[in-house]
């Protein structure tokens, strides 16, 4: 491990709690909406008012099981928001799994035994207590009070994949979430934009989705759009029903797809992209197609939003106002505001000014696909645990050659079928990391010390790139 | 319903055509006959995800003029269901 001046940069990236900084307000209101009759959400062509939402949240809070944790797997963003608010009111902590695969959910349940599942769909494990949200279940005549919530209370726990394969928990205090939403708004001058609708193509359980499609509407008095479909026909029809300009919170993958097909989206005012850097040509294409600015957010699950840029204006990122940045060799930390104590970043960064920097890409072990991230070491460990697999490696190809940045796998597994390997992986990793394709090989080009040097691996893999080579399975 | 004379008329041929389209679009490492037409496309079975869903929707719209919506979820359960849906609503 690199020697580090630890007294200057006290940081624990393994598991950190975004505590609320001293000297800040002790409580924050759930919502920043002024008018109780104002629109809080758009769902299936109908407007839900602020008081309707609050009534539903209080009604649900009163009938939640007496548990410490609520695993919120709701897909519909309105149901997610009601569940999240009800959990806050009931002093429960929302667990936000980004992966709904069987094994990770089971592990989550084992790790947090005092939990139940809050869901709006039926694709969930039946071995845990379940609160099923339906429109009917949320009808209530109770309080429509906008609750005040202690800033230091843990509101949610988000997860990232750790290098061991066990997800790392990142606890978020209510204060840090509110401050993050405020920082986000300041970064995009939202003081002048009081009523807008946040439309998202990312799940609310993802930190970027939580910040932009839940916390931003909560804290800037915006409406949220409940839909979770990313299909152009759905988006187009829903956008036509909105009465306020829409901000689309999306990813480079979705933008690329919409742009390729020249999907027209009416009523957009702005586009925000995150999860991986957006190519400038795609940003230019989107700006030309929709006549709206395209901005990007740089952030991470641990810290939330850290910086932003207007992609077509330049490559440089501008750090959020309240944050500070520091670098030692090729490692960078940020601190302050909603981030709290020094946080080590997983990307390599080149500082260009006090608040400006260029992003050089992730450190070696990290892969990011469609907003999910995983450690190659962890993926390789899981692969090598498949019965009959003697050796194997996940490989991240060149971005221009890989299909949507997907990974491929080279595996030494005589007598084992493709289906067996895929079935094993599917239970343990998010589908975005499943290999496309999977190659069976006789051996991997390991050197005398058992390592796989980059150049040897590249040369070996080049062989498989030639068209017409069959792969067994 | 307008249909070019070159297009397959039997659902069996269409099923194979759509299977090939899925494989080509998603760079799946299987051949068309490997796909069980009754198996789930998402989750188990082929193990596709939401990224694939958007790609499938876009390519089907381009090829057959059929725009998938989330209310057509049933059409995405298997290759056979998808074929039936395309067969019914295709405009090219």
Q: Does the pLDDT at position A7 exceed 50?
A: no
CA-based nearest distance A370→chain B, Å: 8
Q: Does the pLDDT at position A398 exceed 70?
A: no
Range of A281-290, B29-38, B64-73 with top mean pLDDT:
A281-290
Tokens 């702005």 identify what position? A270
For chain B, give the number of residues.
Answer: 92
Predicted confidence at residue A21, as pLDDT, reads: 64
Contact A434 B55 (CB under 8 A): no
Predicted confidence at residue A443, as pLDDT, reads: 85
How far is the C-alpha of A88 from the C-alpha of A63, rounded, in Å? 13
CA-based nearest distance B69→chain A, Å: 6
Name the residue among A337, A343, A333 with its Cα closest to residue A302. Answer: A343
- What is the per-residue pLDDT across A297-337, written as a single tens digit (0 to 9) for each? 999 999 999 999 999 999 999 999 999 999 998 899 999 99
CB A412 within 8 A of CB A439: no
Write the residue in A227, A234, A370 that is nearest to B51 by C-beta: A370
- H or E stretch at A365: none
Among chain B residues, the shortest Cα distance to A434 is held by B47
Q: Does the pLDDT at position A199 exceed 90?
A: yes
Name the residue among A404, A461, A473, A471 with its Cα closest to residue A433. Answer: A404
Tokens 């995800």 identify what position? B49
- What is the per-residue pLDDT across A233-265, written as a single tens digit (0 to 9) for each? 888 888 888 889 999 999 888 898 898 888 999
Write the residue in A261, A403, A431 that is nearest to B58 by C-beta: A261
If one compares A179 and A142, the residue with the highest pLDDT of the two is: A179
Write the residue in A257, A430, A434 that is nearest to B55 by C-beta: A257
Q: Does B48 contact chain A (CB < 8 Å)? A: yes
Contact A418 B67 (CB under 8 A): no
Q: Which residues of chain B does A406 touch, with a Cβ-Cβ cutoff of 8 Å? A: 27
Confidence of residue A369 (pLDDT cuts 50, 70, 90): confident
**The model scores a pTM over 0.90:** no
The average pLDDT across A395-400 equals 63
Predicted confidence at residue A249, as pLDDT, reads: 96
How far is the C-alpha of A414 from the C-alpha of A286, rounded, in Å? 48
Contact B69 A254 (CB under 8 A): no
How far is the C-alpha of A146 from the C-alpha of A219, rounded, in Å? 12
Predicted confidence at residue A347, as pLDDT, reads: 85
Predicted confidence at residue A460, as pLDDT, reads: 82
List C-alpha distances in Å: A303 to A16, A98, A170: 10, 16, 9
Write the residue in A406, A434, A437 that is nearest to B47 by C-beta: A434
Cis peptide bond upstream of B16, omega within 30: no
Mean pLDDT of all residues belonging to chain B: 80
**B53 Cβ neighbours under 8 A, 6+ residues apart:** A230, A231, B42, B76
H runs (alpha helix) in A154-249? 174-187, 207-209, 216-220, 232-241
The average pLDDT across A355-380 equals 82
Instruction: Name A332's bridge partners.
Output: A327
Would you call A291 helix, strand, or coil by DSSP? coil
H runs (alpha helix) in A162-221? 174-187, 207-209, 216-220
Sheet containing A246-250: which strands, arranged edge to edge? A46-49, A39-43, A223-225, A197-200, A246-250, A268-273, A294-300, A304-310, A317-319, A356-362, A347-351
CA-based nearest distance B63→chain A, Å: 12
Interface of A with B (CB under 8 A): 227, 229-234, 237, 253-254, 257, 260-261, 370, 403-404, 406, 418, 422, 426, 430-432, 434-438, 471, 473
First to last CA, chain B: 9
Q: Does the pLDDT at position A183 exceed 90?
A: yes
Predicted confidence at residue A361, as pLDDT, reads: 72
ipTM of the complex: 0.75
Long-range contacts of A274-279 (CB under 8 A, 24+ apart): A274/A202, A274/A208, A274/A212, A274/A249, A274/A298, A274/A299, A274/A371, A275/A202, A275/A208, A275/A251, A275/A368, A275/A370, A275/A371, A276/A251, A276/A252, A276/A368, A276/A371, A276/A405, A277/A252, A277/A359, A278/A252, A278/A311, A279/A252
CB A441 within 8 A of CB A468: no
Contact B29 A403 (CB under 8 A): no
Q: For a pLDDT cut of 70, what percent of chain A falls above it?
A: 88
The average pLDDT across A85-105 equals 88
The average pLDDT across A354-367 equals 84
CB A227 within 8 A of CB A360: no
Confidence of residue A92 (pLDDT cuts 50, 70, 90): very high
Q: Does the pLDDT at position A338 exceed 60?
A: yes
Q: Does the pLDDT at position B5 exceed 50?
A: no
Instruction: Name A372's bridge partners.
Output: A369
Write the residue in A253, A257, A431 that is nearest to B47 by C-beta: A431
Tokens 């509101």 identify what position? A155
Predicted confidence at residue A3, as pLDDT, reads: 37
Q: String of b and e for A461-473 (b: at least 16 CB within 10 Å)?
A: beeeeeeeeeeeb
Write the DSSP symbol of residue B2.
-
> Burial, A425: exposed, middle or buried (Cβ in 10 Å; 0-12, 13-18, 19+)?
buried
CA A33 to centroid of chain Cα atoms: 25
Among chain A residues, the shortest Cα distance to B58 is held by A261
How far is the C-alpha of A58 from the C-alpha of A39, rounded, in Å? 18
How far is the C-alpha of B58 from the C-alpha of A254, rounded, in Å? 11
CA-based nearest distance A326→chain B, Å: 36
Contact B68 A261 (CB under 8 A): no
Predicted confidence at residue A162, as pLDDT, reads: 58
Range of A363-377, B24-38, B66-80 with top mean pLDDT:
B66-80
Predicted confidence at residue A434, as pLDDT, reads: 87
Q: Does the pLDDT at position A12 exceed 50?
A: no
Q: What is the DSSP string of A71-132?
A: EE---SHHHHHHHHHHHHHTT-EEEE-S---HHHHHHHHHH--SEEEEESSS-S-TTS-EEE
Confidence of residue B48 (pLDDT cuts 50, 70, 90): low
Q: What is the dihedral of CA A447, A453, A457, A458, to 10 degrees?
A: -140
**A328 Cβ neighbours under 8 A, 6+ residues apart:** A4, A5, A9
User: How many CB pairs (< 8 A) connect A and B?
Assistant: 63
Range of A29-33, A122-126, B17-21 with top mean pLDDT:
A29-33
Predicted confidence at residue A473, as pLDDT, reads: 39
Q: Does the pLDDT at position A38 exceed 90?
A: yes
How far is the C-alpha of A419 from the C-alpha of A265, rounded, in Å? 40
CA-based nearest distance B15→chain A, Å: 22
Write the residue in B47, B55, B69 that is nearest to A422 by C-beta: B47
If one compares A16 and A190, the residue with the highest pLDDT of the two is: A190
Mean pLDDT of all residues belonging to chain A: 86
Average the pLDDT over each of A180-184, A233-237, A271-275 and give the range with the smallest value.
A233-237
Structure tokens at A431: 């589908």
The average pLDDT across B16-31 equals 83
The average pLDDT across B59-70 equals 90
Predicted confidence at residue B29, as pLDDT, reads: 66
């Amino acid at each position: 491990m690199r020697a580090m001046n630890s007294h200057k940069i006290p940081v624990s990236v393994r598991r950190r709690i975004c505590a609320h900084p001293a000297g800040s307000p002790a409580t924050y209101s759930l919502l920043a909406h002024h008018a109780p009759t104002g629109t809080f959400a758009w769902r299936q062509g109908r407007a839900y008012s602020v008081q309707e939402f609050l009534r539903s949240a209080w009604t649900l809070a009163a009938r939640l099981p007496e548990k410490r944790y609520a695993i919120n797997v709701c897909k519909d963003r309105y149901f997610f928001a009601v569940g999240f608010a009800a959990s806050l009111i009931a002093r429960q902590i929302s667990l936000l799994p980004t992966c709904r695969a069987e094994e990770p959910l089971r592990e989550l349940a084992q790790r947090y035994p005092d939990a139940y599942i809050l869901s709006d769909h039926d694709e969930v494990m039946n071995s845990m207590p379940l609160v099923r949200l339906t429109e009917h279940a949320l009808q209530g005549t109770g309080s429509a009070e906008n609750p005040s919530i202690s800033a230091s209370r843990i509101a949610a726990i988000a997860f990232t994949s750790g290098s061991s394969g066990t997800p790392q928990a990142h606890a978020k205090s209510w204060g840090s979430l509110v401050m993050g939403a405020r920082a986000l708004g300041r970064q995009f001058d939202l003081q002048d934009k009081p009523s807008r609708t946040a439309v998202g193509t990312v799940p609310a359980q993802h930190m970027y989705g939580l910040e932009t499609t839940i916390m931003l509407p909560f804290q800037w008095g915006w409406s949220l759009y409940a839909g979770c479909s990313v299909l152009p026909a759905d988006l187009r029809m829903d956008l036509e029903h909105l009465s306020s300009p829409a901000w689309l919170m999306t990813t480079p993958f979705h933008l690329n797809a919409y742009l390729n097909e020249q999907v027209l989206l009416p009523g957009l005012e702005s586009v925000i992209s995150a999860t991986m850097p957006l190519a400038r040509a795609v940003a230019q294409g989107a700006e030309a197609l929709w006549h709206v600015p395209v901005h990007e957010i740089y952030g991470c699950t641990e810290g939330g939003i850290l910086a932003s840029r207007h992609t077509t204006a330049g490559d440089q990122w501008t750090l959020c106002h309240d944050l500070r940045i520091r670098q030692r060799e090729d490692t960078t930390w940020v601190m302050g505001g909603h981030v709290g104590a020094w946080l080590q970043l997983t990307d390599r960064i080149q500082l260009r000014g006090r608040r400006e920097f260029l992003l050089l890409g992730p450190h070696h072990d990290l892969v990011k696909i469609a907003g999910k991230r995983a450690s190659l070491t962890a993926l390789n460990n899981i692969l090598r645990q498949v019965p009959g697999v003697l050796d194997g490696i996940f490989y991240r190809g060149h971005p221009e050659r890989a299909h949507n940045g997907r990974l491929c796998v080279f595996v030494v597994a005589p007598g084992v079928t493709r289906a067996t390997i895929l079935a094993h992986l599917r239970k343990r990793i998010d589908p975005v990391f499943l290999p496309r394709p999977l190659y069976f090989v006789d051996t991997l080009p390991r050197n005398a010390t058992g390592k796989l040097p980059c150049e040897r691996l590249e040369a070996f893999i080049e062989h498989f790139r030639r068209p017409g080579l069959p792969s067994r399975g | 319903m307008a249909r070019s004379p070159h297009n397959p008329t039997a659902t069996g041929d269409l099923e194979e055509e759509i299977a090939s389209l899925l494989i080509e679009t998603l760079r799946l490492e299987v051949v068309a006959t490997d796909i069980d037409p009754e198996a789930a496309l998402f989750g188990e079975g082929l193990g596709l995800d939401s990224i694939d869903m958007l790609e499938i929707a876009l390519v089907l719209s381009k090829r057959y003029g059929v725009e998938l919506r989330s209310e057509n979820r049933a059409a995405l359960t298997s290759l056979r269901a998808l074929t039936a849906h395309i067969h019914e609503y295709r405009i090219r």
